[in-house]
Structures are given as structure tokens and as C-alpha cells.
Structure 1
């Protein structure tokens, strides 16, 4: 039977385990996909730990980890139009991404452009799409200054590149170890920690026009006062704190249009996913630990099939 990496209950890494599961059967509006690659994201370990988005149903356990994949269509369910067996696709799976096979809903699936590799496509449905949605929400104009809190991870790297292409000046907080990497993106690096707001003011004497937070907690609180307009404060990391500060969570569109848009940016050379480490499915635990530790730069990927 197909292999998958699961969690058997909510908790820490000790709840994770490989399992041989029946090959999924696509229902109406679904695609069965043979997975080539799966992206690894902080939301993966957060869901395992029991942190669910507001209103989200509790998953049936054991649950397969992973929320973004690229692969090849094997079968289509009733009512599916525009996709067929053999198509190269990417999207957000219904049945987890750290697996040899998964189901994708047709509305959250897009065709993979020939110019985009399976590896790069697998990084787009969560990180790049979240970056794209957040920047659209902020509605900034060319010449505006954007502060990205936690710019060195997958969402931050994508947001920085998309913002720079849109003519924004980008300042980003990241550890000293990521300084060269951040500056390679065309971002003004600022080290987090005590008086981070003062260092941002020095880097942007005319002020910042918006903040895109990817860390939350104290890191978000420390810089929120830089904004006069809290509507220009958004987060993909900490709904509770941003609400107290008058800002908003990133409003996710979650549709094929956004997937196609970020794929075009990759094909055009505007957006580089920066896959910095790739693990085989057998090392899914190691891949997730690299992200859970909070020090990964760029994107971490699980290669399921060549």
C-alpha cells in the first residue's frame, strides 16, 4: 500500500509515524495525484500540535502531514473538468502531502507550467500564495516601504521578492546568520531583539507604510508602534496578538487564480522559491524538525518521487 507520514494524535514529534494507507479514491470534484514533491511549512507541525484555524474541523486521526504538493494526475472524480490523467499539477491536498498519493480539490489545483519544476511548484500553494494574498490585502503603491517581520522563511522570502517586483522598498527582520541571504533578496536587513524598532527607524527615517508579520508574539508587539494606521498591519502567524494591536490576519483567497498567478511569477523569473534543503520521504521527520526549529531559510522540501 502507498506510504505516508502521519501523526496519530495531537502533541509533539513523538506522535509522528509512517503508515501504509489505502490509495485514496477521488470523489466528485477531486483529483487523485501521484505526489512528486511536498512543501514543508510551520502550519504542518502546528496542526500536529493541535492548533487549528478558527472554524476548522478536527482532522480524523491518523492524519497525513503536509498542505502543499506537486505531482501528476492519476484519476479524476465525477464532475472534474479541465484536468485529466497525466496532467502535471500543484495545489493544496485534502489528504496530506507527505505521501505517495493524495487527493486535491479541483478548485485548489492548478496546472504546473512547463517552465516550473515540480520542486518549485510544491513550494507555492502555501508560502507563495500566502505572501501574494497578504501583499494584495495591503494594497501598497510603488515607492512605499514594507517591513516584513521574519523575512527569512518561506513566506517572507516570497513576499520580499513579489514586493520588490512591485516597486516597494522592503526592510526585513531576521537573525544575523541570515543577513547575507536577506540582502541577496534586495531587502534591508535588521536584526531582531531589544530596540528592534529603533533599528527599523534608522533604516527607514521616513517611516514604514505597512508591516507584514510572520513571527507574532513579542516580535510583532515590538514593531507595531511604527505604524500610524493599524489597518496596514497584517500577520500570518498570530491572530490573537494582531487583533489586540488593531491589525488583521492575512485574508487568504484560496483559489486557483492565486496559484496560477504565483506560478507565472516563477516562470517569468520574478519569484525564486529558494528551496534550500530537500529530504526524501523516508526523512520526513528530519524535514519537519528543520522547520519546527524555526531557523530554516527559504523553503524545505520533501521529494516523494523522482
Structure 2
């Protein structure tokens, strides 16, 4: 019977487990996909810990972990056009990604380009698409300076690459151990820690930044917000959506469409947003993959390979 990696209640790693689950049937607007790879994201462990968005639907336990996948279509639900059995696709699943089979809404699914591996495609729907939406939201001109907090993770890497492609100067905060990696992206590295604002000012041209893309939240977000004289439209976060408004900023406005996934895939094929997949685990080691991300020190994207 197909396997899936789930959490059985809210809590820490101790609530995670493998379960056997039946092969699901696609409903209207859905695709049944045999999963080939699943991206691992901070949102996965945060959902397991009970950090759900206000108004989010209740969880029915056990819940399969994972919010982005790639795979091959094995069934097409009623009312779905543009997809057929055998198509290689990627997108955001309705029923979790750390599994051998999952259901994807056709509206959040795109065809996988032949020039991308399944592992690379699975790394796009959350991190790269969030970065794409955020950079478009900031709408900075060439020559502007963007500060990205937490630049060394999946979203940060994609945002930095896209911003640099658009001619934006990027300063990024990350741990000291990620300095060489961050600089390889064409980003000026600023180590995290006390006196962060002073170090950012020293690194930024003219001592100023034009926008902040926050991926850390907490004290770092509050600190770097002071770098902006006008935060409306230029202070965004993907990490502290419930509190950023108090600072005069906004959450990243996610488009969540297959058109965005298509655009991100094209940029990946062109080399602009090619995913930095730095660690690949088999499904049997899904817990280890999630620990790598939950520890906060993962560089680039962690991916779980599921099928052949």
C-alpha cells in the first residue's frame, strides 16, 4: 500500500510517523499525481507545530506533510483541461507532498519543463514562487538596494537571484557559515546577530536600503524596518504575516496560480531561478529532511525523492 509521512497531532518531531494510505481518487478540478519529488519548507514543520493561519480549515489527523511536489499525472478529475495521464507536472498539493501519491488542484499545477529535473521542479512552487511574487510586489528599479533577511534559505536564494537579474543591488543577512554561499549569489553578506542595523548600513551603498524582503521575522524584522523612512510597499515579509502590519509593512501577496508557476519554470530553465537543491533524501528519511530545515541552517533547498 502507498506510504506517506504524516503528523498525528500538533507537536514536535515525536508526532511524525509513516502510515499506509489508500491511493486517492481525484475530485472535480483535481489531478492524481504519482509523486517523484517533494520540496521541504519551514512551513511544513510550522504547520505540524500548530502554527496555522487564522481562518485556515481544521486539520483532520493524520495529516500528510509537504506543500510542493513534482510527479506524473495518473488520473484527471472532472472539469480539468490541459492535463492528461502521463504528463510531468509540479505544483501545490491538496493532500500533502511527502507521499507516494497526492492530489493537486489543476489551478495550482503546471507542466514540468523537460529541462528541469523532478527534484528541481519540486523546489519551485513554494520558495521560488514566493520569491517571484515578493520581488514583483516590491517593484524596484535597476540600481535600487534590497535587503533580504535570511537570504541563505530557499526563498532568499530565489529572491536574490531574481533581484540581481533585474539589476537590483542586494544585501543579505545570514549566518557566518553561509558567507561564501551568499556571496556566490552576487549578494553582499551581512552576518546575523547584534547590531544588525549598523552592519547593514555599512554594507549598503550610501548606507541606505530602498526595500526589505524579510524571511526571518521577530527581532530582526523590527530592527531592519528602521532602515526604511517609508515602509508602505517597501517592507514585506513571508515570515511574520500577522505582525508586519504593526511596523507599517505587508505580507507577501501570493498570486497562487498556474500562470505564476509557468513563469517561474521559464526563469528556472533560463538559469535565473534554477533551484539550488543542496540536499536530497529518500522518502524513508523524510524526518531527517525536515530536521535539516527545521534546524534553520539548511543552505538552499532540501528535497525528498519519492518515486523512480
Same-fold status (TM-score > 0.5)? yes
Q: Could you tell me how far apart the structure 1 residues matched to 2:58 and 2:304 are?
A: 25
Q: Could you tell me how far apart the structure 2 residues matched to 1:43 and 1:268 are?
A: 28
1:262 corresponding residue in structure 2 = 264
1:280 corresponding residue in structure 2 = 282
1:296 corresponding residue in structure 2 = 298
What are the superposed Cα offsets for residues 110-169 of structure 1, whole Å, 9 maximum, x if unpaired? 000111111100000000000001111111111110000000000000000011001100
Alignment of 1:73-84 (within 5 A): 73-84=73-84
Q: Could you tell me how far apart the structure 2 residues matched to 1:135 and 1:113 are?
A: 23
2:228 corresponding residue in structure 1 = 227
1:71 corresponding residue in structure 2 = 71
Alignment of 1:54-133 (within 5 A): 54-133=54-133
Q: Could you tell me how far apart the structure 2 residues matched to 1:205 and 1:104 are?
A: 44
Contact 1:64 1:97 in 2 (8 A): yes
Change (3 A) 1:205 1:169: closer
Cα root mean square deviation, aligned: 0.8
Alignment of 1:13-24 (within 5 A): 13-24=13-24
1:135 corresponding residue in structure 2 = 135
Partner secondary structure for residue 5 of structure 1: strand
Q: Structure 2 residue aligned with 1:251, among 250, 253, 265?
A: 253
1:271 corresponding residue in structure 2 = 273
Q: Could you tell me how far apart the structure 2 residues matched to 1:136 and 1:263 are?
A: 16
1:205 Cα offset (Å): 3.9
Q: Could you tell me how far apart the structure 2 residues matched to 1:147 and 1:111 are?
A: 33
1:271 Cα offset (Å): 1.5
1:58 Cα offset (Å): 1.6
1:105 Cα offset (Å): 0.2
Point out the more displaced range, 251-260 or 239-248: 239-248
Contact 1:7 1:16 in 2 (8 A): yes
Question: Scaled by the length of structure 2, what TM-score is found?
Answer: 0.98
1:223 Cα offset (Å): 1.0
Q: Could you tell me how far apart the structure 1 residues matched to 2:154 and 2:116 are?
A: 17
Q: Which runs of 4+ in 1 moved over 6 A?
A: none
1:54 Cα offset (Å): 2.5
Question: Scaled by the length of structure 1, what TM-score is found?
Answer: 0.99
Q: Could you tell me how far apart the structure 1 residues matched to 2:9 and 2:295 are?
A: 20
1:193 Cα offset (Å): 1.1
What are the superposed Cα offsets for residues 12-36 of structure 1, whole Å, 9 maximum, x if unpaired? 1111000000101000110000000
Q: Could you tell me how far apart the structure 2 residues matched to 1:240 and 1:76 are?
A: 37
1:219 Cα offset (Å): 1.1
1:46 corresponding residue in structure 2 = 46
Q: Could you tell me how far apart the structure 2 residues matched to 1:55 and 1:239 are?
A: 14
Question: Does residue 190 of the first structure (1) align with residue 190 of the second (2)?
Answer: yes
